[in-house]
Structure 1
Amino acid sequence: MQAWQVHENGEPNDVMRLREVDRPTPAAGQVLLRVRAANINFPDALLCRGQYQIRPPLPFTPGVEVCGETEDGRRVIANPALPYGGFAEYTVADAAAVLPAPDSLDDAEAAALHIGYQTGWFGLHRRAGLQAGETLLVHAAAGGVGSAAVQLGKAAGAAVIGVVGGAEKAAVARRLGCDVVVDRRAQDVVATVKEATGGRGVDVVYDPVGGEAYTQSTKVVAFEGRIVVVGFAGGTIPSPALNHALVKNYSILGLHWGLYNTRNPKLIEHCHEQLTALAATGAVKPLVSERVPLDEAAAAVQRVADGRSTGRIAIVPQDGARA
């Protein structure tokens, strides 16, 4: 079968190589999946660079999110068990963590209704307790993680302010349903958000960016607001001034979604049920901006790494049944 492999760490375009390799053999408690679609996530770029919290042994195949088909014909979504990632014709996954793919979504959309949407659901509902009528600010609102948070915020009855970089991404954020869109390249984020909220600020901030975005968040969060930290796609991990949180009465909440897989996996299943129901009604629909063949995966991962994508890019193997 064909699979992309990383033999040394570096930029995706430089270190990903498409190879003919043996089909992986599932270990005890695992299942073999024919990959129907694999979505690119920012952690895939970090894995290539050797900067992710998990560092699989070299060589490994990236791809942390797939829609696949089991040997008995079930259509499922899963997180592949590294080093056998999803940028391949076949992968393996832990049987206990495999979830049914929603019938209302195609393969690429179904694969995307996992990491980004689970992270958004846990961040907004379990960690921040977002309520109908509150105001939510989402950084990188046109990206894969941000677009999921926008849709989930709207589904919860919140007013959503989306912060993006550039006119093209601003247009995407508007189509997603943002009530207010702020182009950080052309507007003052803090001043625009304060004006949009009548000076009050926002109740919840969803931040997958870090760096300057986090600093802006502290300036626009409302009294008793909540800042949910879900990643550092901007490349800089901020050092929060805790005295500022004290005098302004806001909370800083961390979210590592992967921990729920080991600490409370039943919540993952419950979340998937909620997301499946929302997808069935059309309240959420993953934004898949591109569907590319397997042989274009490295260039697509690089676009995500460079912040040049919107929504999710899906890799769709052309002949997943080939041995």
Structure 2
Amino acid sequence: MQAILMRGPGGPEVLERQEVAIPAIESPTEILVRLHAAGVNPIDTKLRSRGVLIQDGLPAVLGCDGAGVVEAVGAEVTRFKPGDEVWFCHGGLGGPVGNYADYIVVDSAIAQPKPRTIDFATTAAAPLVLITAWEALYDRARLLEGQTVLIHAGAGGVGHVAIQLARLAGARVCTTVSTPEKAAFVHELGAECAINYREEDLVEVVMDWTQGQGVDVAFDTVGPAVFRQTIPAVAHYGDLVTILDPGPELELREARNRNLRLSLELMLTPMLRDLPLARARQCEILRRCGELIDRGELRIHVSQTFPLAEAAQAHRVLEEGHVQGKLALTVADD
């Protein structure tokens, strides 16, 4: 089969198409999936440039998100049969298991039936961002109906689904964007207020929008500087969740004075630490999101797709920082 391998960290050029053996089912609960598409996420570019997370994990096949058709099943698999369409978040952190390839073997408990109403590329783009946004808003921040939410980078991969999940919970949403085009996009998704961070003062706009109270929940998807900038925009006793390391030099006096609840969200933890119950919870999130997608209540925006052989170019585009929604690799024809 064809796979995109990285043999060492570096720029996009380290991603090379190679011929490798089709993985074999080794456990009676596993399934072999013929991939049709793979999602491209910022974690992929970070692992490519800095090194993988699995010890002795080179050469590696990147790609945490996949969607495809079951080719074969282990002796104890009852949930799926050959020909079933599935999606999942598995692998891509180091070693040979990843979705930038023609095939992957996953445990059947990790996969979910693919949403019926969207294609493989859109499906493959979704798992990591959906689980991240769901856990951040619903599990970490414990979002409630009627609350106000600030979502940073609302036109991005995580941000654009976070807006929708917040609205589905009955919350009011404001978000940050960098262009009028992205502002129009997030309004379509349900955001009431789009803050152009290049031209407007974040705290000033948020306070005006919330009548001086600050938002009940803030979700940082950008990094340390934005995390610090957001603290005075959160209401007293509010929640601030980040998906990134807030950094070693963090002044939390104002956060403490506001009695904020600070939370860290890393959806990769169950995979990195081998936590079966947490992985089962994430699979249930995918199942519920699939239902929302098929009911037309949740939208996944894929702005561009690339053939598997052009994975390096997909990384270049993602690292430019202007992607609206998600990118995906097409591995096989739908």
Please confirm whether the aligned pair reaches a TM-score higher than 0.5, indicating the same fold.
yes
Residue pair 1:291, 1:316 contacting (<8 A) in 2 also: yes
- 1:54/1:140 CA distance change after superposition, 3 Å: farther
| Deviating more after overlay: 173-182 vs 66-75 | 173-182
Residue pair 1:5, 1:60 contacting (<8 A) in 2 also: yes
Q: Offset at 1:50?
A: 2.7
- In 1, Cα distance between equivalents of 2:333 and 2:185: 32
Using the size of structure 1 for normalisation, the TM-score is 0.90
1:97 to 105, 110, 120: 110
Q: Offset at 1:35?
A: 0.8
- In 1, Cα distance between equivalents of 2:255 and 2:90: 38
Q: Which amino acid aligns with 2:206?
A: V
Could you tell me which runs of 5 or more consecutive residues in structure 2 were left unpaired when the two chains were aligned: 72-81
Runs of 4+ in structure 1 deviating by more than 6 angstroms, as ranges, are none
Residue pair 2:125, 2:327 contacting (<8 A) in 1 also: no
Residue pair 1:65, 1:80 contacting (<8 A) in 2 also: yes
- In 1, Cα distance between equivalents of 2:265 and 2:52: 15
Partner of 2:183: 170
Residue pair 2:154, 2:160 contacting (<8 A) in 1 also: yes
- In 2, Cα distance between equivalents of 1:116 and 1:27: 29
Residue pair 2:65, 2:126 contacting (<8 A) in 1 also: no
Using the size of structure 2 for normalisation, the TM-score is 0.88
- 1:185/1:26 CA distance change after superposition, 3 Å: farther
Partner of 2:252: 242
Residue pair 2:307, 2:331 contacting (<8 A) in 1 also: yes
Secondary structure at the counterpart of residue 140 of structure 1: coil
2:198 to 179, 185, 204: 185
Partner of 2:121: 108
- 1:186/1:223 CA distance change after superposition, 3 Å: same
Q: Output aligned runs, 1:77-226, within 5 Å.
A: 77-82=87-92, 83-226=96-239
Partner of 2:30: 30
Tell whether 2:261 aligns with 1:251: yes
Partner of 1:60: 60
1:230 to 236, 243, 250: 243
Secondary structure at the counterpart of residue 120 of structure 1: helix
Percent identity between matched residues is 32
Partner of 1:292: 306
Map Cα deviations across residues 246-295 of structure 1 (whole Å, 9 max, x no partner).
21111101122233461433322332332123222212111111122222
Residue pair 2:8, 2:51 contacting (<8 A) in 1 also: no
Secondary structure at the counterpart of residue 44 of structure 2: helix
Q: Which amino acid aligns with 2:6?
A: V
Q: Offset at 1:315?
A: 0.9
Q: Which amino acid aligns with 1:150?
A: I
- In 2, Cα distance between equivalents of 1:51 and 1:224: 38
Residue pair 1:40, 1:314 contacting (<8 A) in 2 also: yes
Partner of 2:280: 266
- In 1, Cα distance between equivalents of 2:333 and 2:8: 27
- In 1, Cα distance between equivalents of 2:55 and 2:296: 37
Map Cα deviations across residues 219-272 of structure 1 (whole Å, 9 max, x no partner).
10001110011125xxx7364333322211111011222334614333223323
| Deviating more after overlay: 42-51 vs 142-151 | 42-51
Residue pair 2:110, 2:280 contacting (<8 A) in 1 also: no
- In 2, Cα distance between equivalents of 1:160 and 1:143: 15
- 1:307/1:96 CA distance change after superposition, 3 Å: same
Map Cα deviations across residues 24-74 of structure 1 (whole Å, 9 max, x no partner).
223325322111111111111111013564466211111110111111111
Residue pair 2:39, 2:327 contacting (<8 A) in 1 also: yes
Residue pair 1:160, 1:180 contacting (<8 A) in 2 also: yes
- In 2, Cα distance between equivalents of 1:99 and 1:121: 17
- 1:264/1:219 CA distance change after superposition, 3 Å: same
Residue pair 2:241, 2:262 contacting (<8 A) in 1 also: yes
Residue pair 1:47, 1:54 contacting (<8 A) in 2 also: no
Tell whether 2:16 aligns with 1:17: yes
- 1:80/1:92 CA distance change after superposition, 3 Å: farther
Partner of 1:304: 318
- In 1, Cα distance between equivalents of 2:304 and 2:55: 28
